[in-house]
Chain A
Amino acid sequence: MATRIGYRVAFAIGVGAFGVSLGLGFAQALRRSGRPPALLVDPLVEAQREFAGSDPERWIGEARSLTEIQPRNLGAYLALGRGLADAGRVDEAIRAYETALGLGSVPPMAHAQLARLYYRRGDLEAARAQVRQAQSRGVSLSDDFLRAVGLGKSAS
């Protein structure tokens, strides 16, 4: 009998809390957009769309959360690196890109982005290595940048 009552109490609390959560969630969507919750599949894409321009720290926080939940998600580290780079946090951005590189093959553009970060930190040798990686995979970089890292026509 006590078990039965315990189950019923647990059920009432669980369903009550769940119902309140749903109601709050629905209300939150109405308050934010004036519409019921939209269909969402990839929260990182949605977070980038919503926060990347308007609230860089929030966007960095969202990307960082994904690296915590999925610590071997290469794309999450690239997103974090991009967000940190846009916010001017060069050293942290480099660490995020380097972690992504350690996890597997990154898109060619990531090498170009990392090259620019190394250049901003003053590490020209590392920047040149990333430029070569990017170029070998078909990415074209501006002549100004190539000259700046010592790989442009006037430098050679």
Chain B
Amino acid sequence: MPRLGRTFVGPLFDSVVIGGGITLPAAAWLWLDGRSATQLLGLSLPLLVLLVNQAHFAASTVRLYSKPGATEAHPFLAFALPLATLAILSLCIAFTSGLGRQLWALAMTWSPYHYAAQAFGLASMYCYRSGVALGAAERQLLRWACLMPFFRSLLGGAASGLGLGWVLPAEVLGRPAVAQAVVIGVVLLDWLVFAMPVAFVVAVWRRRRQPSDGDAASAPGVPLLALLPVVANGVWFVVFDYWNAFVWATVFHGLQYLAIVSIFHVRERQDAAPGRRGAIRQLALLYAGCVGLGYALFQCWPLAYQLVGFGMVESVFLVVAAVNVHHFVVDAYIWRLRRDPNYGTVMAASPA
């Protein structure tokens, strides 16, 4: 009998928000509805993007400076990366056709990898938290399972000049043999997106059955909460076309991210000073900080470039790309589990 696994908050919240379970019925509904994200969300899109998407990009920066010991552990990220980002962004806006397009392609190509990494991180957290100690081979298998939607997007984005289309010239991609190979690759990856998580579950199940593991028969199998983020991330890139996948994956990824940041933040604060401030207040302060910084980054910052004479389009798109890349870099360091205080939060006994 499959088990849910050990939750952070509670079965419903962990399944629907952190696990990304909400994406499954939502994807089915959106697929049946058939309208694009922009058509469907209409005027509510900018508000949704601010409250979820832009707030989540800001959340990694808020976490970098609020997580105990993070600035000391990662001085380059904390102290030098802001200036480096500013300098690189300014160069890219000044040289749009040379550098700007590379920054945009980098951000958009990296994005699905970032989602895959988050799915891997969440799945690993739930495995550890639920008492499933993954062996090296199982970790590798889980990582590959999480990476399948990324590989799918590398091929799916080729026509838009992203992913494979970023590195291969249009003439090469337009050759019949290459175009056919890309189509076959997409179909194959559509299957692998869902087959690889099954292979991971089977691998863990088989190890559990092996008598050489000592008390193997009592070892737990993969919890559903570890599978949900992996499957949910795959659904977007298989069910929707490239750009709609981007919009929906980003919104739900942001929701997931904000939830997990909130849990870690509140728990760390309460561990440091138990009872001094209520969890709700900590949560409200954190979220207000994320929305405020998101607004400053995405809505105010591009206007400064317009003030000094650059266009609206390059200012907005390249600020978006630079903030994306900054977020990906910061995230790669601040969510490590090994030899990091994050591990203590993941393994904490009771739900938050």
Contacts and interface: CB of A to CB of B under 8 A. Distances in A.
A69 B96 contact: yes
Interface in B282-335: 295-296, 299-307, 311-318
A148 to B, nearest CB: 35
B299 A69 contact: no
Interface string A28-49: 1100000001111111101100
Given A28-B304, A28-B306, A14 B86 contact: yes
Interface residues on B, range: 35 or more
A26 B49 contact: no
Nearest to A37: B299
B104 A7 contact: no
Given A7-B75, A69-B101, A70-B161, A28 B307 contact: yes
B160 interface: yes
Nearest to B318: A69
Interface stretch (B77-85, B200-208, B218-226, B252-260): B77-85
A89 B161 CA distance: 27
Interface residues on A, range: 35 or more
B46 A11 contact: no
B83 A14 contact: yes
A65 interface: yes
B41 to A, nearest CB: 9
A92 B47 CA distance: 37
Contact of B82 (A15, A28, A47, A62): A15
Interface of A: 3-4, 6-8, 10-11, 13-15, 17-18, 20-22, 24-29, 37-44, 46-47, 50, 58, 61-63, 65-66, 68-73, 103-104
30 contacts: A4-B75, A6-B80, A7-B76, A10-B83, A11-B80, A11-B83, A13-B83, A17-B86, A18-B86, A22-B301, A24-B303, A28-B304, A37-B299, A38-B299, A39-B50, A40-B316, A43-B302, A43-B316, A43-B317, A44-B313, A62-B312, A62-B313, A65-B96, A68-B96, A68-B101, A69-B96, A69-B104, A70-B101, A72-B161, A73-B160
Given A14-B85, A43-B315, 17 more contacts: A7-B75, A7-B76, A10-B79, A10-B82, A11-B78, A11-B80, A14-B82, A14-B84, A21-B305, A24-B303, A39-B50, A40-B299, A43-B312, A65-B311, A70-B160, A72-B165, A103-B159
